[in-house]
Amino acid sequence: MTGPEQVAVRLVLNGERVSALVDSDATLVDALREDFDVTGVRIGCRNGDCGTCTALVDDRCVKTCLVLAGRASGSEVRTLEGLGTEESPSAIQQAFMECYSFQCGFCLPGMVFAAEELLDRTPDPTDAQIRDALSGNLCRCTGYQNFVRGVHRAAEIRRDGTSQT
Ligand code: FES
Ligand code: FES
């Protein structure tokens, strides 16, 4: 029995050009984790419900469990690793830490990128806009309220320019 055909996948991943031969039926989340050694996308439901596999693909929030890796070839992909570090967090990462928004952090890829996308288009969002923007992401640890506080705080940091990145 032969395995699935392989396809060449080329990405600009967190600013670096990378390529790999990937099974033609591999999803982008699997390719990122297994072929490109990126763990800032996580595997939850595998059917588009939880959001923990979220990355920015060509500057748009994408649930990478819903995309074949081969289809994403040629794209620019940014994962949590490309956003900031513990020493130099992005405004949203800093705000989520300050506001104790998360506990285990499993849901962070979706929460962080949904918040980024929201603040890029709506710099001073209301509670309702924040809840709407985060609604495609499931968190099993929190009551979501501290994520809402965190997004308000991130908006403040972005306005004041006090983030380290
Ligand atoms: S693993 Fe992709 S949305 Fe849940
Ligand atoms: S903090 Fe644990 S799933 Fe959200």
Classify domain 91-160 at the CATH superfamily level: [2Fe-2S]-binding domain (1.10.150.120)
Judge if the beta carbon of residue 53 lies within 6 A of ligand 1.
Answer: yes
Q: pTM of this prediction?
A: 0.92
Span 31-86, pLDDT tens digits: 999 999 999 999 999 999 999 999 999 999 999 999 999 999 999 999 999 998 88
Ligand nearest to the CA of 141: 2
Strand partners, 18: 11
CA 147 to chain centre: 15
**Token pair recorded at residue 121:** 């288009």
Q: Is the CB of 44 under 6 A from ligand 1?
A: yes
Return the CATH superfamily for domain 6-82. Answer: Beta-grasp domain (3.10.20.30)
Mean pLDDT (whole number) for 104-128: 96
What string of DSSP letters covers 79-136? -GGGT--SSS--HHHHHHHHTT--SS-TTHHHHHHHHHHHHHH-SS--HHHHHHHHTT
In CATH terms, are 6-82 and 91-160 the same topology? no
With a 6 Å cutoff on the Cβ, whether 107 touches ligand 2 is: yes
* Ligand 2 pocket, residue 146 CB under 6 Å: no
List the residue whose alpha carbon is closest to atom 4 of ligand 2. Answer: 139
What is the 2 CA–ligand 2 centroid distance (Å)?
39
Residue nearest to atom 3 of ligand 1 (CA): 48
Identify the residue whose C-alpha is closest to ligand 2 atom 3: 139
Task: Report whether residue 139 contacts ligand 2, using a CB cutoff of 6 Å.
Answer: yes
Token pair recorded at residue 140: 């099993």
Q: What confidence score (pLDDT) does residue 4 get?
A: 82
- pLDDT (average), residues 98-115: 97
Tell me what pLDDT residue 1 has.
Answer: 61
Domain boundaries, the chain: 6-82, 91-160
